[in-house]
Structure 1
Amino acid sequence: MEQLQVTQQRMDHVELPSDIGRIPPKIAIGNDGFSNLTADQWKTFIMIYSTNILWDMLDNNDRKILGHFVQTCNLLVARFITENDLKEAQERLKDMTCVIENTYGLEFITSNIHLALHISDCCRDYSPIYSYWLFPFERLNGYIDKILTLLRYLVIFF
């Protein structure tokens, strides 16, 4: 909980350009910090905030894990990806997985981590992730939810 509050305080002092999606102003909420982030907000947190804000809270192995993850994300969410980018992303994911296994044990290699090892192949088969990710749809779902909430309120009120 204390680390979430420190993280929140650090994030409060970062000013982002207006074209980058915002993260909710309160992530340090109970034991469920970060629980309401959308995929797009997670992307912003990982690619922009995480290294600067979390680095001194992590030990060396966790820094390696974070470094590999952030760099892999930067490579894979680009609009254009080269074969060399895919190879580097694959190697970084393998290295990250090895550090996780050596640091925390095989039981921490979850299905999501295993599936991430196949992302490069998916990009080769289906094009860059940017062309088919669902972040815009998730954002639109948020707008639709707000409209439905407003309509429910109007029905109750009238």
Structure 2
Amino acid sequence: IPFVWDEFLKDAQQEFAKQSKKYKADLTKHKKDLEEWKERHPEAIEEATSTRKVTFKGVPPVSTGHAPKKRKLGDDNNTRPVAPDPPGNRMHKDEPELLFCLATSLKLLLGRSLDDASLTRSLQLLREYLLKYREVYGEGAMKPNHHWVVHTPDQVRDFGPVYCFWLFLVERLNKTLKDYNTNNHSGGELEITLMRTFYREVRIRDMVSLYISGASCNIAHNL
């Protein structure tokens, strides 16, 4: 992974700098266009201001007497200018460190046997990852999962390795049931269809397993 960043980081930074320069120019133009649009459409500003007024006891705001103009087809002057989207940096110099912190922490947490030192170290790496993540991407990029993951070491202490309580097996079964053809059954027929299909697949697997084990025994007997 560091080799990828060493190879392409410079180009990515140059591309981001070019996009940022263009974004600043587009943003300046947008502000100018927006001011000109406001001068041409003062009624839109008054309407927006009136809708923000606080009313009491259900009393509606006082009408300004200006009705919004209908937009004519092909008249771009009536369209409110849209601000340009800020550029995104596709590669950051600190991302390899972030990835290694997260990967090392997950490697420790996914162990089949863990001690308290491993859990403490994994939590330390998770915190380093999250703090650096916030520094690199900003608080707006943080998600609830970033908070929930720091409770994983405590859950391992309470319930054992993650293989004892994670839900991957349940989710896999849900995916299996979801892929069955239910023929638009409803009113109780859907459950029967799912059960019959699942039971049929279980029997097929058993038959294949018995055949393979029997064939292996015959081969061993002939030898």
Q: Could you say which TM-score interval applies, normalised by the shorter chain? A: 0.5 to 0.7
SS at match of 1:60: coil
The aligned counterpart of 2:164 is 131
Q: Return the TM-score normalized by structure 2.
A: 0.40
Which amino acid is 2:156 matched to? C
Give identity over the alignment, percent: 23
Q: Distance in 2 between matches of 1:141 and 1:87?
A: 34
Q: Give, in whole Å, the separation in 1 of the partners of 2:127 and 2:4.
A: 21
Structure 2 CA distance for aligned equivalents of residues 62 and 121 of structure 1: 27
Residues 33-86 of structure 1 show CA distances to partners (whole Å, capped at 9, x for unaligned) of xxxxxxxxxxxxxxxxxx59x954643311111111111221112222221211
Shift of 1:89: 0.8
Aligned counterpart, 2:123: 90
SS in 2 for 1:112: helix
Matched, 1:144 2:177: yes
Moved over 6 A (4+): none
Give me the whole-angstrom Cα distance separating, in 2, the residues matched to 1:129 and 1:60.
Answer: 32
Structure number with higher relative contact order (C-alpha < 8 Å, ≥ 6 residues apart)? 1
1:60 alignment partner AA: K
Structure 1 length normalisation: TM-score? 0.55
Pick from 100, 109, 131: which aligns with 1:76? 109
Say if 1:79 and 1:131, in contact at 8 Å, map to a contact too.
Answer: no
CA drift of 1:109 comes to 3.0
Alignment deviations for residues 130-158 of structure 1 (CA, whole Å, 9 cap, x no partner):
111111111111221223x2x42899xxx
Aligned counterparts of 2:118 and 2:93: Cα–Cα separation in 1 = 25
The 1:55–1:70 alpha-carbon spacing in structure 2 relative to 1, beyond 3 Å, is farther
Partner of 1:104: 137
Structure 1, unaligned runs of 5 or more: 1-50
Counterpart residue type for residue 114 of structure 2:
I
Cα root mean square deviation, aligned = 2.7
| Aligned counterparts of 2:111 and 2:153: Cα–Cα separation in 1 | 13
Distance 2:115 2:4 in 1: 29
The structure whose Rg is larger is 2
1:72-110 CA-partner distances (Å, limit 9, x unpaired)? 221112222221211111011010011112212233332
For 2:144 and 2:179, how far apart are their aligned partners in 1?
Answer: 33
